[in-house]
Structure 1
Amino acid sequence: MPAVETTYGGERAIRLTHGRYEAYLLPGWGNLVALRDTARGFRFLREPEAEMDEFRKAPGRYGIPVLYPPNRYRDGEFTIAGRAYHLPVNEEATHNHLHGFFMRIEWPVVDMGEDEGGAYVEMAHDVGEGHPVYEHWPHTFRFAIRYELSDAGLVQRVQIDNRGGEPMPVMLGFHTAVNVPFSKASSADACSMQLTIGERWELDDRKLPTGRFQPLNENERKMPTGGADPFYEPMDNHYTARPRDGHNRMVLTDARLGLAFVYDVDLKYRHWMVWNNNRCGTFFCPEPQTNMVNAPNMDLPQDVTGLIVLAPGESFSARSRMYVEEVSR
């Protein structure tokens, strides 16, 4: 069956299969934790299957965790469209709110199956009074994520509908964890990374943007065209996105295999974070975000911060894709 309910690491899971591809979604966390090419033995995402206790403590380090709002907000407080928001401070070292509300709660599965596009699963939250998110994000809205698996790879579709009577901010990102390498037949030193970055935001000692840019170093200058080392130094860096040839993407090229894993995200993700777990050498996180870190508290125009505000009845949608392509050796 192309879409079936099963288990993964002792957790309820939805398994999608199509051709040589296989994916696992954990509805209990809203996290698609596995994307595999079973014919060639590739695992593109960092999976928690052998370390579920660690996953439950730190779900942001595996698969494709949902960040809403993404990254850090000073003291958990900001004002948008005249409404004051008070988010819990959950990073004591910086006294910030970090990564939002949707990474550690169960996501209802509303549809799954197969159509002409391949196997699919859709999960959604209908947020309103009584919903666990509503206390800190007091809006009536629907937040849906659909994953589709086909010969074209994995497509992610996001739709957020403002169903309330007041303006509602959209602040969205994904803490996507990519294996380096994605094949046991290769090694990290055979891999290089391309990322469509523009400028690097300077961060203060609370890991919040100062509003100033920093010069790119030698490795960062290689990122837009390829050839950058994802482990050249410990990275927890924040960048503007600068699409090239109409694409906003990360490309992990394995020169030994002559293949590249492509993470092509919607142009609406106008900023990137890059985190490599203190140069761990096995995975890194290219994190697309619609808005910059701490966006509502920045004294910058919305077309710079990327802050999106939906009027009543308006919707936000975005499409991203993961796939493999051959490259010349």
Structure 2
Amino acid sequence: MSISAEKKKFHGKDIVELTCGRYTATIAAFNGSNIMRMQDTENGIDFFRNDPSFNADDYKSHAEIYGFPTLYLPNRLSNGTLKVSDYIYQFPCNDPLGNHIHGFLHLREHTVTAAETTDSAAICKTEYVYDENDPFFETFPVSFKAEFIFTLSDEGMSYSFTMTNLSDRFLPYGVCNHTAMKGPFTENGRTEDVRLYVPIGDKVILNSKCIPDGTFKKHDDYDKAYLEGTVVPVGHDIDNDMYFMADGNVDGKPFYGIVAKDTASNKEIRYEVCRDFKYWVIWNDHGDKGYFCPEPMSWIIDAPNLDMDPEVSGYTELAPGESKTVTEKIYSVIS
């Protein structure tokens, strides 16, 4: 089995190309440690939205909607306000609804700290230290280190993300992946053959500013389609469907994640997340651009500002010196 991890340049910017058996992946350190591309070359599966005509600046200017970006902070903060136990910060309102959206970590050029192999895997490690050298620090002066590990094996891509609070203040801890999956994701695939299975709990009701209004509802027929795996996630508009995560079942085993399937070929992408993630947001940019985003979030939209039990909202903070790690796994199967 061929295994390699090579540091390379992409239009002068740092990337690492990983190969292990049937899988290949490109980690774009220059673009927020984004998985710029991942493929199962034996089965003709291209996991994430990508554009061979793009240069580095193109990818950087579309950082949220290509590949596999990691967002800090997740989704929206109402009116740009961030309430932490020891301070209230005011972020710029950068979405049309008058909120702050997506934070800044995915927009920075990160550092490759390792590109290495073992007998069974190709590994890339990256990091970013957020401090007074960052242009956003005047707005949010809470230093931290973000560390990423991408491990490509014959079982697919394993991903871990660690944040460490380097400051003397409390660090609000919320993480999201704005996972931009291709749809269709198979060679010569058709939009109408793609299906999405998402084990979900109650639906989170959002107001006109895409902020939770504090109510949840049980499933109706629309929601049940996620549980039945009959949702076609492209070709029509899916606009921020938000749900509590729930346990699912795949191949007779417990499963905490989502499954995208091409029904014509029975090829699947399986995306598992750790239980620190509590919510799914499903979005597809109006459904006409060949991709969809099943986004795992560790906290509910606007969690720092909501009067909600942290056990429900997922809101948490890191004390000075404290670290926290989340993990995920992405792979393909023929069902």
What TM-score does the superposition give when structure 1 sets the normalisation length?
0.92
Instruction: List per-residue Cα deviations over 1:24-56 (Å, max 9, x = no partner).
Output: 111111211100012233211111322446533
- How far off is 1:226 after superposition? 1.8
Q: Which residue of the other structure, out of 274, 297, 308, is the alignment partner of 1:300?
A: 308
Aligned to 1:321: 329
- Which residue of 2 is the match for residue 231 of structure 1? 234
Structure 1 residue identity aligned to 2:200: I
Aligned position for 2:267:
259
Map 1:1-329 onto structure 2 (within 5 A): 2-8=4-10, 11-30=13-32, 31-52=34-55, 54-91=58-95, 93-214=96-217, 216-231=219-234, 233-236=236-239, 237-244=241-248, 246-280=254-288, 282-327=290-335
Partner secondary structure for residue 107 of structure 2: coil
- Quote the Cα distance in structure 2 between the aligned partners of 1:285 and 1:7: 28
Q: Which amino acid aligns with 1:154?
A: M
The answer to whether the 8 Å contact 1:9/1:49 transfers is no
Measured in 1, the distance between the counterparts of 2:11 and 2:67 equals 14
Contact 1:247 1:267 in 2 (8 A): no
Specify whether residues 133 and 115 from structure 1 end up closer, same or farther in structure 2 by C-alpha distance, changes over 3 A only.
Answer: farther
Unpaired runs of at least 5, structure 1: none
- For residues 221 and 183 of structure 1, the distance between their equivalents in structure 2, rounded to whole angstroms, comes to 26
**Conserved 8 A contact 2:86-2:170:** no
Kept in 2, the 8 Å contact 1:127–1:133? The answer is no
Q: Distance in 2 between matches of 1:224 and 1:311?
A: 38
1:219·1:229 contact (CA, 8 Å) conserved in 2?
Answer: no
Cα distance 1:172–1:278, how it changes in 2: closer, same or farther (>3 A)? same
3-state SS of 1:189 partner: helix
Deviations 1:156-202 (A, max 9, x none): 11111223333221111010011122112321222211112212211
Q: CA RMSD in A?
A: 2.0
- Residue type at the aligned position of 2:244: T
Report deviation, 1:131. 3.3
Q: Is the 8 A contact 2:235 2:288 kept in 1?
A: no
Instruction: Summarize the Cα distance change of 1:160–1:293 in structure 2 as closer, same or farther, 3 Å threshold.
Output: same
Amino acid across the alignment from 1:184: E
Whole-angstrom CA distance in 2 between matches of 1:256 and 1:10: 40
Stretches of structure 2 that go unaligned for 5 or more consecutive residues are none
Question: 1:10 Cα shift?
Answer: 6.6
Q: Distance in 2 between matches of 1:309 and 1:215?
A: 30
Rounded to whole Å, the distance in 1 between the matches of 2:120 and 2:313 is 35
